[in-house]
Each structure stands twice: as structure tokens, then as C-alpha cells.
Structure 1
Amino acid sequence: MHELLIAEKAKAAEAIARALFPDARRSTYYGIRFFISASAIIVPLSGHIADYDVRVSGWNRIDPRDIVTNSRLLVKRYDTRYERFFLWLARTYQPISRIIIATDADEEGENIGTEALELLQRCGVDAPVVRMWMHSLQPGEIRRAYHELRDLQWSVAASVEARRIIDAIVGFSGTRELTLTLRPYLPALGTQVLSIGRVQTPTLSLLVERERKIRAFTPKPFWKVVIEAGSLKIERGPFSSEADAQKLQQLLAAHRVLHVVGVEQRHEARSPLPPLHTTRALQLINQFIGIPAQRALSILERLYLNGLITYPRTSTDRYGRYKIDHRSCVSAAARTLGAKPPTRLQLSVNGSVDAGDHPPITPLKQVSLNTLPRAQRAIYEFICRHYLALFYPPAQLLRVTLQLQARDLSLRVTGYRIRNPGFLTVYKYIRIVELPTVKRGDTLTISQVSVVRSETKPPPALTESKLLKQMEELKLGTKSTRPEMIEVNLERGYAVRTGRSLRATDLGMAVISLLEKAAPGLVNPRAFNREVREMMDAIASGKLRLDEALRAFRTRYLSVFDQLRAHRTLLIQEVQKLLKQRTITQCPSCGGSMVLATGSRGGRYLLCLNCQVRLPVPRKGDISPAGYCPRCFLPLFVVREKTRTYKYCPSCGPSRYAS
């Protein structure tokens, strides 16, 4: 008789097999690679093996509102590969002594485990169920978890199931309603689908809110005086007029000397940042290294599967209850970096949140960084440096204010000097530019004085790090799904990534503008999502049943959906108003506005917003009106490409008017 262990990924299954069952061998059936020993079968999944879909195919065959009101329209579809595999398992290895759920040790893993159990029961495999909860894939930790099995948290799995069903209801119904309402105008908007999501749309609204401020900003000129004296660089200003700045420049240029009349010093201690939970790790990796959050999370999972770090999906940033061998981990991190280990094995800073799930993200093994791929190397080095810094003392700084005098002009310059670098010895991501050492009575020779013209700057675009922080504060999504929601907006063309910044596109701004007028409940990042979060917490704690929660949600969401439907005419009017601003020419049939549109295969044409008449235009080049064709009297256009410019008639083509 075998026991059945369900892992979430292939590498996790392999690590479990090696740690617990030395006689396990690899086998394959129906494309599923698993491990089998004399007493156990270890099966890896590939994340979720089930997803929700609408029972009826074809968007025009059902009313999107029915997705909200009729629970039978939403169906859970299982991966057919695992369905065939589990049927074979039931025929070949029954009876199973027990089922051990060894998926990733978080709420998502709990839900994935219950998916596997549901499919196993459908295939005729039924046995007692226990849970294996691992903090890392080190052999010792795997063996500890195997000997300390716990109960599966059914209520936590149900709360994740509620989130997945709710997101499917909102996504399927809202996306279909908005897309079908505006379908004639989508090519002119440059898309085939306008998607809505419970977390995706409020996340986009945060980017749109910042983009509006950037676009509405009007820069104003100002001038500043830059004074260079040795290694000291002083800025004075801003001045509203260039003349005022030049007066100061002339005064300093004539004097050429700054007298140090006072030096104020104040001691400051700067502590290391707290230990890493998932969100903090993603924020800092994006801020310090520039790797997008979704990719960073994927790399953290790869490091975990390779046994280099503890489980990366954690809400805890406080060491305490967890059995972490700090002596071994500190030694591994120091040897990986080629750094000197701290003199004392005592945390100089700890976090404040103990969520009871996993320890903070911790390095476990010494590794030659050069053997890792570039992105993995950068992230593992960061984790090692961040962890090691926790055992170094705070950096001791002097906050120095210099009082300088030039004739009747007084200047103040503030900066730092480092007395003891402390944790900054290993934490290279924080750099402090030091003031030169001077004392009262010293004289500084001015080497250059210049007047610099500048302009006031708009609010900066949101970095991914800042957006993740806002999402966390608003409880938008979970630590695992937030990066995914950012990527969805990028894939939909609602936002673009420029360096480390995220900017809403015209399409993204149009979607939010439409929804703000028609269904603000879908846009507001606070009220609607807070209710869902509270509902999930109530299910997880056992205070609310899944079916009760879904009934309550359908009733609540139906009012939001009906509000969207009631504004169909307004949506169409708003889109027409938006697109009319992009008018290229008048329709030859009805005189309506014609705008540039893109087909599903990349072809371009001019679309009439009134009668939907289409006129073909070239795939490439900027298009501008050039009167009418003398032959067929259709609108004539000038097409400007990189290497040529020519005239084009939708009926006669380009050759007759080539230039």
C-alpha cells in the first residue's frame, strides 16, 4: 500500500523524494513525471490544475448579466492530463493509505491542494488527508515537516476559492458587457477587448490618477545659482527671475571666498531595514535592482526550489518562533559574498509582523554567485546582503550643518559624515555622499559660480515599487497576485513600463474615464475590494460559509453591474466624443468623423464613427488628409513613412499619386 504525496512543482517533488524516500525512482505516465518508491508516490502538479470558465461558449450566446445571477453558468474545468493520470492511479495503486498535501505552504497552496483532492475523489481515490507544511526545501526541513504533519486548512482553501470565483464573475461579466457594448469602436481604440478585473481595474486607476496629474502639470521656469568650492557644491534658489540670480552670481564672483563661521553636528544612527517579507522584497528588488515584480517573484520561487532560500511567499518580517539556524545562514551569506561575518550573532533590528505562516525570506546556502544566471545572481546577492546587514550594528552618522558667509550673504549647507559604517559595510544599496571635513574659521575658495535655468517638474511617474506599496496599503490583491495584476495591465496595453516607472496609456485612461462615469464601483480601489477582503477573512476564520459569501457577493455586485448596463448609451457617447478628437477626415457616405482603426490581423483602415463605413489605408506611416481624389472623389491622404512620402487613395491606391 502506498501513500500519495502531492507537490506543487516538479523540483519540490524531487526534493521530497530525495529527502524521504531514497529508493524512489522517476517514472512518467500521460506526460506526468512522478516519483515512486516501495511505500510512496510523489506527484508534482503545475500550479493550479483547475480554472473557471463560462459553460456556454460564444460571447453572443448568453447575456453577461446571467453570469452574475446564474451560478450554474460558471464551471470549474480540470486539466485533462491530471484527470487521466489520477484515473490510472486509482486503477493501478488502490488502496492509497493516506494523501499528504505537500503543495507550497501558503493560502494558494492550500487551495491548489484541495483542487487535487477534488479531482482525486472524482477519479475514485479516497483516503485520509494530512498536510505537510515546509519552510524550505532543505532535506532536514522536509523531514521535520513529514514527521510533524498537520490538518489541511479547509477554510483557508475556501477563502482562496471564493476569491477565484469572485474574480471570475467580475472578469467574465464586466469584460463581456463593456466589450460588447463598445465593439464597433474597439478597432479605433486599438484593441479587440476591453477587460475589467476586480483588482486589475482599481490598480489601473492608481496609474491613471498619477498620469492625469502629470499631464495636467504646467511647468514654470526658475533659476538657481550653483556654487562650487573645492569638493563642496552649493545650490541657492529658486529665483523667479534670471536677473535676481545673476545679482547673486556677480556678488559671489567678485568675492570668490566663503568663510566657515559655524559648524553644527548632531549624531544619528541609521538602522538596517527590517527582514524581508514578500512585498518588501519585491519593492526593494525593483527599487535597487530594477527587476519587475512579477519576474522578481518568479526568480525568488526558482531560488526556493533550488534550496537557496526559505519560502518566498510570506507575510512575516519578524524572526522569533521559527527554527532558523542563524549561525549557519549568516556563515553561508558571508561566504557567498566574500564578506567578513558580523562579530556578534544578534539581530540589530527585527520586524513587527508575525503572520504565523513562514519566517522572513532567508538565505540558506553558500553559492558561487558567478554560477547563477544574471538576474538570479543579483537577487540572491541582495537577499544575502539584506540578511547579513541585520546582524551588523546601525551606521553611526554625523549630521553636519555648515554656516558659510560671503560679505553680507549667509549660506547653510547640510549633509552627513560617516563615523562608523556599521551595516553599510555590506549593504551597498544605500550610499551616503559625505560633506568635506572643515572647521570654523576655515576659508573655502569659490572655483565657479553659474546660473542654471530649470523648470518645475510634474509629479514623478509611479515606480513599480511605489505602486506595490500603494496596493498593499489599499489591500488590493494579495502579496502573490499584485505583481500579476500589474503585468495584466501592461499586456492589455493599458500601461507601459518606462525604465522603472509605469505610465498609463491613452487606452488605459480611456477605460478608467468610461468606468468612472458608468460604474465607479469598479474603479474605486477602496470600498468594493475592502468588502471582498473582509469576506475572504471571514471565510478563512470559519465565520462565513463559501456558499453564503458567494450569494452575498452576487447580490452586491449585481447592483454595480446593472449600473454599468444602465449607462450603455453614455458609454457609446463618451467613446464617440473621445474618438472625434482623433478625426482624420469626413466619411464620404454620411459626413461623419472617420478615425484610424486597427484590425485583428494588424491591417489599418479608416472607420466612420456614425455609419461604420471602412476605407483601407496602408499598414505603415503617418496619415494626413490631402483633399479628394480627382478620379473617384474619395478622400485622398498623404502617407509619410521613414524613407518615403506618397499620396494614397483608398480606391485607386498609391501608384497614381506617388511622389
Structure 2
Amino acid sequence: MGKKLIIAEKPSVAADIAKALGGLTKHDDYFENDEYVVSSAIGHLLELACPEEYEVKRGKWSFTHLPVIPPHFALRPIEKTESRLKLLTKLIKRKDVDALINACDAGREGELIFNYIAQHSKTAKPIQRLWLQSMTQQAIRDGFTRLRSGADMSGLADAAVCRSESDWLVGINGTRAMTAFNSKTGGFHLTTVGRVQTPTLAIVVEREKKIREFKPRPYWEVEASFAVQAGEYAGKWIDENFKGKEDGEARDEHARADRIWDQAKAEAIRAACVGQVGEVSEESKPETRLSPLLFDLTSLQREANARFGFSAKNTLGLAQALYEKHKVLTYPRTDSRYLPEDYLGTVKATLSMLTGEGAGKGHDEVLLSRYAPFAHQVLARNWVVPNKRIFNNAKVSDHFAIIPTTQAPKNLSEPEQKLYDFVVKRFLAVFFPAAEYQVTTRITRVASHPFKTEGKVLVHPGWLAVYGKEGQEGEEGNLPKVEAKEKAATEEVNIKATETRPPPRYSEATLLSAMEGAGKMVEDEELKAAMAGRGLGTPATRAQIIENLIAEQYMLREGRELIPTAKAFSLLTLLNGLGVNELTAPELTGEWEWKLGRIEKGEMSRQEFMQEIAEMTRLIVERAKTYDSDTIPGDFGILKAPCPKCGGLVRETYKKFQCSDCDFALWKIVAGRQFEPEEIETLLTERTIGPLTGFRNKMGRPFAASMKLNDKHETEFDFGQGSASDEANAEPVDFSGQESLGKCPKCASPVYEHGASYVCEKSVGPSKSCDFRSGKIILLQPIERGQMQKLLQDGRTDLLKEFVSSRTRRKFSAFLVVGPEGKVGFEFEKREPKAPKAGAKKAAPKKKAAATEEAG
């Protein structure tokens, strides 16, 4: 009887399988006994390649050679892991090996990794599939008792190959076509596109457009403070006739019941209510809140980003380590938030482990002690019962929700412990009853004007008990009691003036949600219904899509914000101008992902899908070919300012602002920043503009500068600091038309605005005798004229909150202060030290940050 060769995805998994089977001897890169040979890949070992006769080298990328749609694909070994491929090929071809077992990760990519290895080796030996959801020793042994046949996996295998080949076709042809288009005027301008990454980028760019185009609208709120015998409470005026979308004014997305768009109306309400008494009525009713569902990968990534600032990629890496290395979590690359209906026994065993009983030696006792009371409670009260919110076969596909395994945690790193704790608490909470509140809505009517107050009291914490204070933060307290027929005295009535705000930029958390729910963005109701459950990419690929967009410099990660670059705007302008909607519309790409799911289920053939992809590829290339110049359709106009060279009309095009009558032209993107038409008009009219933020140097670091036109009508950066020779030869600066901002901290001479800086009048010109100068923008924080006046008069500005560290790129708040020798520096806000926990060792005192750290 021959042996079976088991191929895992990674060496660590191969070692776990060998240990679970027992009795195998370790050789260099494989294990063996009389029944099995166990080895592994190292992730992907092969990649798709165009057959040699169809390949076109990078320097020859042009429309002449496009589209590239080969009749078949070749497989090319990945150079750095080629030795492992040779080993596996040798093992597959061994005469004593008569069958293979695919033990790669349970999903589309794991299927692809194994099938490419089998295809490369040209084997005809029978194949079985080991499908693991958990990496505990018992789960591995159980998996071998229910091996699947290769035929059972044919749908998943076809979908995996279709995904790989379709991404190659669209990515290679789209990238080459757009690169060829952008390189027509010279050079090589690599412009990458992708079947999933480009629609994802379109979502981010569309949000950024809304932010840039946003016009704030002022509104007012009227707030009052009321006193009754039992105490004081606050209320806010509301429009009781506000009907949401049915109301004409409420069609504005910013309309709310408590917003007043007319200041005079707000003043009239205040005048009518000051000093009056209010009649109080209230309604109190119970409210329940169920625990959130168990985690799938996307929800875990989203919430870990919001809570800990973990990137989607980091969360996936940590979850994979907790599954693969520590064996304490189930398979993380899942899109299900439910468990199989026959999983009640496993859940009870897991809860038993979380009590600490039978957890084995060496486990993390401190960590388990957090969970023991709640795990005991769930088991003692028999809360693990059939429940469709938790156990639901209809909502479990190949994978189920991410939960802890029966393996006790030990030796987890701090980030791993955070994520494990996150998953365990969600797991425990889902079995607890709902949280119960008593919600009171109070209306205080003053001179016929209603003021609303809400109180929310937690009556029974239910599942919130698992989270302790952390889960109950932000809950509103109880209201002071009002006796029957008691009047409320109106103590104060204040008007709060504010304005509407633009939508926030995407973070990884919100972008993951947008990718997952891409179908919800579709306006057509019928198509929206058809796309329910479809999105951009899969839970396993979304993190890498975001990382790819950052690596290709289409997006920047600033703190938790994702900011599209000028390159991103340029790409979307190009694709929209060419009418290549297939690469920009989320719903179309969501359709492809849905069809891949149909292939997995055997509802669509591989041939049918690939024919559609090939046709889409031809259309993309054909549309790009139809434009002979670098000017593509777009929302472009004519500038009001004339050409500085000949007085002709200056038109905006895809790449430039170009004079119609001469060769004068300005590039739209300079140092990673895209100029708006209004900014170019200012530059042409005044020959200078700025200082402006948003520029990036070659290292990707942000900087601010002014732009000016020189004598040759070419643009130059102006950093407000001329050379010594320039200063020596410069004419005296005339400040007679300006009002001084204050006295120079170095020499007491007047300080004025000058270019991109605030300067001492004696620090410019040929007779320079002082060097005081402070930028109008410091670390991307604009320093307004009023703040500079305050700095010069008081030695300190207000707290400024938009500084961006040039090293970490994180935002921080600080005061600007005048330090020793008249230099401007930072002073950081003082924070009260946290009270030490009982029994904690007293930390060594930290040195106070220098109050005058130079602001540079």
C-alpha cells in the first residue's frame, strides 16, 4: 500500500499536522512514516505568466500589442521559493506516493496554491481535501475522518483559477493601456489599475471630492438650563413639525429637528423664553439592546481599526497568528458571523476552557481570570441553546464566525492579546441576555417653545457586563424628578452658533465597510436588491487591496485617515473620460465577485465567466485606443485669467493648463499636489500664491510652500527664505502700507507679513540685522494673523490642533511660544497624571517636555 502526500500552505501547519497524526520522522523539509509524507508550500509558489510567444516586454507597452488575451496561461515559479517547489514536485513524483491530500488553508486562495502545484507537477494521482476551521490537535485529527474528494472541490477550484486569470487579464491589459495612454507625450508613466482596487479607489476619491466641494452652512441651536425642586437639567429646542424626508427643508441631508437656519428666528426664541417658566411633560419606556453578532473578518478588522488603530493588514496578520501559531482562534478568513447548528457541544467545551478548568499547564491565568466569571455564568444558567442569531446553517458557507478554540492562550504578545480579548468578549457576550434601559423623553414647553431632554438609565447590564465600564461609557444618566404639575424655572437660554461639516474622510474601518457593502451604494433599487450581500473583494483580500493602493501612491495613510493623492484623481479623470466604467463602478465589480460565488456553487461555468472577462478587457483597451492625444473628455473649462505670455485663453486639459495661442502651459500636478483652476487663476493674476499645503517630497513627506511665476513664466517653489546673496542684492522691502503685528521678540522692531512668513522688518533687505522669521504654515498647521499677534504680545498662541509630525505623520496639538533667544517653539498641553491602580508600582517620573521645543 502506497503513501499519501499531505501538502499544507505553510511549514508551521505541516508541523502541526505531523504532530496531530503522530509517529512521523522529521527530514529536512518534510515528515514521514509508513502511511504519510507531510510537507508544505510557503504561500504561493507559482504565478500566472503570459506564454512566451504572447508576452510583450515593459519598454514595448503600446496599443499595437494590446489587448493581450492568451489562449492559455503558463505558470512561472516564484524565484525566492523555487527550491520548495522542486521539493514538492519531487515528493509528488515519488513512486511510493499514490495519492495527495490538499491541506492548504480552507478557502479560495488555499485551493489555488495547491492546484497550481499539482498542475505544475503534471500529476494524475487522486486528490482529497482536508478542510480545517481550527488548528487544535483534536480538530486536525477530526478533519482526517471527514476528508473531501477532489471532485467535491471542483467549483471552488474553478472560482480560484477564474479569480486569478481575470485579475491578470484586467490588471495587465488595463495597466498597460493606461500606461501607454499616459506615456504618449514621452517618458514612462506607470498607471496601475485593478478589477477590485480601482473601484475601491473610486469610493475614496468620490468622498474626497465631496469634502473639497463642501460649502459650510451656518445654523443655530437654542439650549436652555432648567431648575426644578430635585435639581437642574438641560434641554434643547426642537421643531416638533420636523418630519424627516417628508419635510421639504429636510431634503437637505444636514437638516435636523434641533437646527435653526435663521439667526433671527433663534434670537426670537431666546427672547421669548428668557425668565419664563416651563411646563413639563415626559414619557418613560423600557428599551432593550441585543449583543452584537459574532465577528467575521471584515467586522473584526473594522472594529480593531476603530478601537486600537490596527490596520486591516495587521489585524489579519494577528488573527492568522492566533489561528495558526497559537491555535486559540478559529479560521479568520471568513465572511460568516454565525456558527453551525451542531456546534453547541464545541461551544460548551470552549466556555469550559475559558473558566480556567482543564486549561492545561502554562496557560495565561491572568487573561483567563477575566473571562472565568462570565463563562461560568453562561454554563451555569444554560444559555447555550439553539438560537438562530448564533447557530444558523443557512448563514454558514465554507467557514463560520471567528471564535476562540478549546486551546488555552499562553505567551501571546500584547497586540495578539488585545485581539484575542476582543474576540473572546464578543463570543461571551453573544450568549448573555439583552441590556435593558429605561429611556425618558422630557419636553419642557416655555412660551409655547418645546425643549427636549433625554435620559437613559441602564437598568440591567445583560451582555454589557462582559465589557464592564468600557461597554457602558457614554450612557446618559438619570434626570432629576419632576413632581406632578411642577413648573420648571428657565435659568439660562443660550444660542449656539455653528455650521455644517463635510463628510469625514475614510478610515480603514469605514472603507472596509464601504467595500463590504458596495452594493448598497447603487441607486437603482432593482440592482441594489440583486446585489445584496455582494461587495468589493473578499474578507481575505480587502486588507491587501488597501495596502496596494497605498504602495502604488494612490492613497496616503495619515493617522487613521486615508487620503487620495493627485495621482488618484488623475486616474479617475482618465477612466471616466474614456468611459471605462467597468473599472470605476463598484456595482460592476461586485457583479464579478458574485459570479465567482456562483462558480463555487456550480451555478455558472468557468468558460462563461472568462468569456465575459475577455470581452470586458477588449472594451477597456478599445476605448483607450479611440483617443489620439492626451486630452480626454472631462469637466474642463477656460480660465478667467489670460495667458501671461501672450494674453490668449488658458484652457484646462487632462494634464495641463494650456494656452490656446502659444506654448505656455502649467502642469496640473506638481510635487504630488493637484492644482485647482481657481488657484491657477490666482497664480496667473498675482504671479504668486500661497503658502499652500499638500505637497509631497520624493520621500512622501508633506511640505508647504508658495508658488510663483519667474521671468520666464515658469513655476518655482518659494519657501520664503532667500539665499544670503539674494538678500544682499535685494532692494529694501516697503512695509509702509502694512499694519505691524507686534514687536520682534529679538530686537523689538515691527513684525510684518512677507511672502510665506511673518518677519521682522530688519530681517529682510540688504541691511539685514535680525533673523526673526516664522512661517505662516508650521508642520501643515496654518498660523493665522491673529495667532501671530497673540504670540508677539503674550508670548503664546492659543492651543493649535492641526500640527502634523514630519516623522510619524500623526496630528498633534500644541501652543506656539516665544522661547529663549526669541525663537518660536512648541509647548504641549499639560495633562493630569492618571491615578495608579491599587497595588501598582509607582512609575519613575517622566521628564517634562521642553516648553520651547523649536517649531522649525
Q: TM-score, normalised by structure 1?
A: 0.82
Q: 3-state SS of the aligned residue for 1:462?
A: coil
Structure-2 change in CA distance of 1:571 and 1:14 (3 Å)? farther
User: Would the aligned equivalents of 2:56 and 2:65 in 1 still touch at CA under 8 Å?
Assistant: no
Question: Residue 458 of structure 1: CA displacement?
Answer: 1.7
User: Would the aligned equivalents of 2:438 and 2:459 in 1 still touch at CA under 8 Å?
Assistant: yes
In 2, the alpha carbon distance for the partners of 1:138 and 1:366 equals 7
User: Would the aligned equivalents of 2:440 and 2:456 in 1 still touch at CA under 8 Å?
Assistant: yes
Structure-2 change in CA distance of 1:415 and 1:529 (3 Å)? same
1:384 aligns with 2:418: no
User: Would the aligned equivalents of 1:223 and 1:242 in 2 still touch at CA under 8 Å?
Assistant: yes
Q: 3-state SS of the aligned residue for 2:431?
A: coil
Equivalent in the alignment of 1:235: 236
| Cα deviation digits, residues 156-193 of structure 1 (max 9, x gap) | 11111111111111111111111122126798xxx942
Partner of residue 48 from structure 2, selected from 24, 48, 52: 52
Partner of residue 351 from structure 2, selected from 313, 330, 347: 330
Structure-2 change in CA distance of 1:42 and 1:231 (3 Å)? farther
Equivalent in the alignment of 1:613: none
User: Would the aligned equivalents of 1:225 and 1:249 in 2 still touch at CA under 8 Å?
Assistant: yes
In 1, the alpha carbon distance for the partners of 2:64 and 2:407 equals 56
| Cα deviation digits, residues 580-605 of structure 1 (max 9, x gap) | 35x9xx9xx95443677569xxxxxx
Query: Which structure ranks higher in relative contact order (CA pairs < 8 Å, sequence separation ≥ 6)?
Result: 1
Q: 3-state SS of the aligned residue for 1:224?
A: strand
1:580 aligns with 2:656: yes
Q: 3-state SS of the aligned residue for 2:100?
A: strand
Equivalent in the alignment of 1:296: 315
| Cα deviation digits, residues 287-321 of structure 1 (max 9, x gap) | 44432222222221111112011111223323234
In 2, the alpha carbon distance for the partners of 1:554 and 1:269 equals 52
Question: Residue 379 of structure 1: CA displacement?
Answer: 1.5
Partner of residue 707 from structure 2, selected from 605, 624, 628: 624
Q: Which moved more, 1:331-340 or 1:176-185?
A: 331-340
In 1, the alpha carbon distance for the partners of 2:154 and 2:729 equals 73
User: Would the aligned equivalents of 2:301 and 2:316 in 1 still touch at CA under 8 Å?
Assistant: yes
Structure-2 change in CA distance of 1:104 and 1:73 (3 Å)? closer
User: Would the aligned equivalents of 2:553 and 2:565 in 1 still touch at CA under 8 Å?
Assistant: yes
List runs of 5+ in structure 2 lacking aligned partners. Answer: 238-257, 357-367, 520-533, 637-651, 673-696, 731-763, 766-856
Q: How does 1:32-181 map to 2 (within 5 A)?
A: 33-54=29-50, 55=52, 56=55, 58-61=57-60, 63=62, 66=65, 68-71=67-70, 74-79=73-78, 80-89=82-91, 93-121=94-122, 127-152=125-150, 153-181=153-181
Equivalent in the alignment of 1:461: 505
- Which AA in structure 2 matches 1:503? I
- Which AA in structure 2 matches 1:215? R
List runs of 5+ in structure 1 lacking aligned partners. Answer: 600-617
Q: 3-state SS of the aligned residue for 1:503?
A: strand
In 2, the alpha carbon distance for the partners of 1:390 and 1:13 equals 34
Q: How does 1:244-323 map to 2 (within 5 A)?
A: 244-246=265-267, 248-249=269-270, 254-255=275-276, 261-305=280-324, 306-323=326-343
1:363 aligns with 2:363: no
- Which AA in structure 1 matches 2:203? L
Equivalent in the alignment of 1:202: 199
Structure-2 change in CA distance of 1:598 and 1:344 (3 Å)? same
- Which AA in structure 2 matches 1:326? V
Q: 3-state SS of the aligned residue for 2:149?
A: coil
Structure-2 change in CA distance of 1:100 and 1:226 (3 Å)? same
Structure-2 change in CA distance of 1:470 and 1:621 (3 Å)? closer
In 2, the alpha carbon distance for the partners of 1:233 and 1:548 equals 65
Question: Residue 99 of structure 1: CA displacement?
Answer: 1.2
Aligned pair count?
Answer: 612
| Cα deviation digits, residues 351-408 of structure 1 (max 9, x gap) | 6652331231111257568x53333222211111111011100111222111224455
| Cα deviation digits, residues 451-496 of structure 1 (max 9, x gap) | 3221111223334333333323333222212222222222222223
Q: 3-state SS of the aligned residue for 2:475?
A: coil
In 2, the alpha carbon distance for the partners of 1:595 and 1:527 equals 31
Question: Residue 573 of structure 1: CA displacement?
Answer: 7.5
Structure-2 change in CA distance of 1:326 and 1:83 (3 Å)? closer
Q: Which moved more, 1:235-244 or 1:125-134?
A: 235-244
Question: Residue 139 of structure 1: CA displacement?
Answer: 0.7
- Which AA in structure 1 matches 2:297? T
Partner of residue 722 from structure 2, selected from 641, 645, 654: 645
Q: How does 1:516-531 map to 2 (within 5 A)?
A: 516-526=576-586, 528-531=588-591
User: Would the aligned equivalents of 1:317 and 1:351 in 2 still touch at CA under 8 Å?
Assistant: no
Q: Aligned-residue CA RMSD in angstroms?
A: 3.6
- Which AA in structure 1 matches 2:318? I
Equivalent in the alignment of 2:190: 193
Structure-2 change in CA distance of 1:278 and 1:636 (3 Å)? closer
In 2, the alpha carbon distance for the partners of 1:635 and 1:410 equals 62
In 1, the alpha carbon distance for the partners of 2:727 and 2:75 equals 53
Question: Residue 57 of structure 1: CA displacement?
Answer: 5.5
Query: Percent of aligned positions with the same letter in both sequences?
Result: 22
User: Would the aligned equivalents of 1:637 and 1:647 in 2 still touch at CA under 8 Å?
Assistant: no
- Which AA in structure 1 matches 2:108? E
1:593 aligns with 2:666: yes
User: Would the aligned equivalents of 1:514 and 1:571 in 2 still touch at CA under 8 Å?
Assistant: no
Q: Which moved more, 1:325-334 or 1:238-247?
A: 238-247
User: Would the aligned equivalents of 2:167 and 2:195 in 1 still touch at CA under 8 Å?
Assistant: yes
Structure-2 change in CA distance of 1:505 and 1:34 (3 Å)? same
Question: Residue 527 of structure 1: CA displacement?
Answer: 5.5
Question: Residue 284 of structure 1: CA displacement?
Answer: 3.0
Q: Which moved more, 1:112-121 or 1:313-322?
A: 313-322
- Which AA in structure 2 matches 1:165? E
Equivalent in the alignment of 2:538: 478
Equivalent in the alignment of 1:607: none
Structure-2 change in CA distance of 1:435 and 1:249 (3 Å)? farther
Equivalent in the alignment of 2:461: 421
Q: Which moved more, 1:398-407 or 1:150-159?
A: 398-407
Structure-2 change in CA distance of 1:506 and 1:431 (3 Å)? same
User: Would the aligned equivalents of 1:18 and 1:24 in 2 still touch at CA under 8 Å?
Assistant: no
- Which AA in structure 2 matches 1:135? Q
Equivalent in the alignment of 2:374: 340
- Structure with the higher fraction of residues in helix conformation: 1
| Cα deviation digits, residues 416-472 of structure 1 (max 9, x gap) | 221111111114456451232433326767676543221111223334333333323
Q: Which moved more, 1:380-389 or 1:204-213?
A: 204-213
In 1, the alpha carbon distance for the partners of 2:86 and 2:729 equals 63
In 2, the alpha carbon distance for the partners of 1:58 and 1:4 equals 39
Q: 3-state SS of the aligned residue for 2:452?
A: strand
In 2, the alpha carbon distance for the partners of 1:67 and 1:580 equals 27
1:216 aligns with 2:199: no
- Which AA in structure 2 matches 1:156? L
Q: Which moved more, 1:419-428 or 1:324-333?
A: 324-333
Structure-2 change in CA distance of 1:655 and 1:127 (3 Å)? farther
User: Would the aligned equivalents of 1:101 and 1:129 in 2 still touch at CA under 8 Å?
Assistant: yes
In 2, the alpha carbon distance for the partners of 1:430 and 1:192 equals 53
Q: 3-state SS of the aligned residue for 2:283?
A: strand
Question: Residue 501 of structure 1: CA displacement?
Answer: 3.9
